[in-house]
């Protein structure tokens, strides 16, 4: 509910508020559209990465017995580097780099498949980190999109119609006041003329 007074100052102020919201609405709508598009891209990429991870893990199921012999401390994710990017005015993280730490191992005494195991684990870790990253990115974008959608709805369905209605009421009130003033002036004039003729 918009509070206002029935005067020209309030009318001017409400007009400014209405104009500001009407001018901002297309920008907010395009922001919402851009965020919706980015949410879809992040979701598609996350789904693609998870499918790729599942497929890659299934490809190496046959090696399950060998993984029991594999020294998992040979490789680990040491650091994940993020940057930021603005999408429709919202700061979103960008995955820049995944750094691994690899322990050295003896190529002569270790089984031949150890090098492949390290490569496979790197790939699986990359897919896992990226899919998790895109899940979080999608969540952040979706949260920003929801807030923007709420603002669009607030402007479109509440504030703009509310300001228009308030302006209409003030204009009617001022017109009625003016008409009453003119009518009372006519009545006073007629009385004065009637008294002057007597």
Q: What's 121's domain CATH number?
A: 1.10.287.3240
Looking at the domain assignment, is residue 198 inside a domain? no
Q: How far is CA 100 from CA 80, 81, 82, 129, in A?
A: 9, 11, 15, 12
Domain count, the chain: 1
Looking at the domain assignment, is residue 116 inside a domain? yes
Looking at the domain assignment, is residue 106 inside a domain? yes
Residue numbers of the domain that contains 126? 8-191
- For the stretch 15-57, pLDDT in tens is 999 999 999 999 999 999 999 999 999 999 999 999 999 998 8
- For the stretch 109-158, pLDDT in tens is 777 778 888 888 899 899 999 999 999 999 999 999 999 999 999 999 99
Looking at the domain assignment, is residue 107 inside a domain? yes
Q: Which residues contact 111 (CB under 8 A, 6 or more apart)?
A: 66, 69
Closest-CA residue to 147 (of 39, 10, 11)? 39
Chain centre to alpha carbon of residue 149: 8
Looking at the domain assignment, is residue 160 inside a domain? yes
Looking at the domain assignment, is residue 2 inside a domain? no
pTM of the predicted model as reported, rounded to 2 decimal places: 0.77
Looking at the domain assignment, is residue 28 inside a domain? yes
Looking at the domain assignment, is residue 115 inside a domain? yes
Question: Residue 1, class by beta-carbon neighbours within 10 Å (0-12 exposed, 13-18 middle, 19+ buried)?
Answer: exposed
């Amino acid at each position: 509910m918009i509070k206002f007074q029935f005067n020209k100052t309030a009318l001017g102020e409400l007009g400014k508020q209405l104009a500001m919201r009407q001018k901002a609405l297309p920008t907010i709508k395009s922001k919402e559209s851009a965020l919706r598009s980015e949410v879809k891209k992040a979701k598609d990429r996350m789904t693609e990465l998870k499918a790729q991870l599942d497929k890659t893990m299934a490809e190496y199921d046959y090696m399950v017995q060998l993984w029991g012999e594999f020294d998992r401390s040979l490789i680990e994710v040491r650091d994940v580097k993020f940057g930021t990017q603005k999408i429709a005015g919202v700061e979103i993280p960008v995955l820049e780099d995944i750094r691994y730490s690899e322990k050295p191992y003896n190529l002569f005494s270790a089984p031949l498949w150890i090098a492949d195991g390290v490569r496979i684990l790197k790939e699986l870790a990359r897919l896992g980190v990226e899919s998790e990253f895109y899940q979080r990115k999608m969540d952040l974008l979706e949260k920003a999109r929801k807030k923007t959608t709420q603002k669009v709805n607030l402007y479109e369905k509440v504030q703009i119609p509310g300001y228009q209605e308030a302006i209409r009421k003030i204009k009617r009130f001022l017109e009625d006041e003016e008409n009453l003033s003119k009518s009372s002036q006519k009545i006073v004039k007629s009385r004065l003329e009637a008294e002057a003729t007597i």
